[in-house]
Amino acid sequence: MRTRKRILAVLLVMVMTAAMAVTGCGSGDSGDGSASDKTITVAFWDNNQLAGLKEIADEWSKTSGYKVEFTAPDWGSYWTMLEAGVSGGEMPDVFWMHSNNADKYMAADVLLDLNDYIEEDDAIDMDNYFKGIADLYNMDGVQYAIPKDHDTIAVIYNKKIFDKYGVGYPSEDWTWEDFAAAAQEISDKGKADGVYGTYCNVSSNQDGWYNIIYSYGGEVITPDRKASGLDEPATIEAMKFVAEKILPACPPPDSMASTGGDTMFLSGLVGMICQGSWAVNNFYTADNASDYAWALLPYADVNGNGQCEPSERCSIYNGLGWSISAQSEKADAAWSLISAFTSEEGQKKQSELGITMAAYEGCSDAFAEAFDGMDISPFVDIEEKGTLVFRPYSKSMALWDQDISDALVDVWSNPETMEDTLKQLAVQMNKRIAEE
């Protein structure tokens, strides 16, 4: 590690002496100084973020002398690509990590231990990031990714559809009951037009029914991640509400299984959906963007006092991380790039450019102003007017998450089976957790 620190020091000097670096005078990493040795490869899966990330990377390149090559396959292809790299292929130097797969990759020794880099870098203090995200990418005291962003959930609605059927727009005062009633009214009045009030598929968890469960006081997994919460009374109550009030206002299950909520919304077939802050640009750049508006997530009036307590309005949040391949021959330069993305300055720039909200706490306000003509403040406002709950996970999440999705397919067609199915799923989930 002493050698690595010396190498890092050389790199930092190189960054400060930009003119020398640009002309190829010196390198903090091994190599012969060829063009390929001056390129950092970066992989991620959301092409909507490419322009903004490239802008930050271009600024970094001016001082580091390194080029950055981005690859942005879709979600499925991305993980296939990484799996191939783990199995002996070529890994990118820098890449995104996600809660679905973090434990698997951290345990496989394919991610670089970042502890010493963090210790040596004054721009990175893990206490500045949302704790849930920082903890997610830490295993046995080793940090394997630096938090990239955090996301929250809001309601997007089509004003044209609400106006056509005479339904009031979503407001900050809406409960989930109000949401369901408005959705049903749109479905009833829009039946002849094939228009539905809302959309909620079995996979709509982070941007859908997870938020309802926690607003009702339930939970998917206990805080210590040792047991399922699917059989808890509040969880069952919330999911029975989904079955009895939300699903009747949605398109048929078969239609939702074949067509995503975003597609249906953008096609004018659905009046409102819940969606995450990561997807704002999809709607901002849509042909009918002027018809769209955002609102705070509704709340569940659990105590019946007619007012929203912060614990009754919950948004699930999640966050990606920047990792470095353990096999990267340019690890020092890769760290320098990650530091540029995740430092306070880099995180503020990320928000200003509308890439995503920041993982660095207190750096996301600019995100709300990044989309001229579209008010997306509900994504930021919920941090004061509600409660953020980190996306439920455990080491076996990929398994029990799939179990839940598979089981709910039948429930979506037979809503009356919700309670029994949840109790069965809790048993199955506890077995998965016990085997971790």
| DSSP assignments along 51-88, one per residue | HHHHHHHHHHHHHH--EEEEE---HHHHHHHHHHHHTT
Q: From first to last of the 436 residues of the chain, give the pLDDT tens digit.
A: 433 444 444 444 343 333 333 333 333 454 445 556 899 999 999 988 999 999 999 999 999 999 999 999 999 999 999 999 988 888 999 999 998 889 889 999 899 999 999 999 999 999 999 999 999 999 999 999 999 999 999 999 999 999 999 999 999 999 999 999 999 999 999 999 999 999 999 988 999 999 999 999 999 999 999 999 999 999 999 999 999 999 999 999 999 999 999 999 999 999 999 999 999 999 999 999 999 999 999 999 999 999 999 999 999 999 999 999 999 999 999 999 999 999 999 999 999 999 999 999 999 989 989 999 999 999 999 999 999 999 999 988 989 999 999 999 999 999 999 999 999 999 999 999 999 8
Q: Angle 307-311-312 (CA atoms, 0-180°, nearest 5)?
A: 50
Q: What are phi and psi of 92, to 5 degrees?
A: -65, 160
In the structure encoding, which two tokens stand for residue 229, read together? 């919460």
Residue 228 near residue 429, CB atoms below 8 Å = yes
* Distance in angstroms between the alpha carbons of the first and the last residue of the chain: 32
pLDDT at 32: 44
Q: How many CB atoms lie within 10 A of CB 377?
A: 14
pLDDT at 84: 93
pLDDT at 34: 57
CA–CA dist 188, 204 (Å, integer):
23
Q: Hunting for tokens 């005291």 — which residue is that?
A: 141
In the structure encoding, which two tokens stand for residue 184, read together? 């049903």
**Amino acid making up residue 226:** K
From 391, 397, 404, 396, select the one nearest 435 (Cα to Cα): 396
Distances 235 to 21, 206, 218, 241, 417 between C-alpha atoms, Å: 57, 15, 4, 10, 14
pTM of the model: 0.84
- Sign of the Cα torsion 48, 358, 172, 369 reads negative
pLDDT at 204: 87
pLDDT at 10: 41
pLDDT at 48: 87
Residue 197 near residue 184, CB atoms below 8 Å = yes
Reduced DSSP (H G I as helix, E B as strand, rest coil) percent helix, strand, coil of the chain, to 5: 50, 15, 35
DSSP conformational letter for 338: H
pLDDT at 194: 97
pLDDT at 29: 55
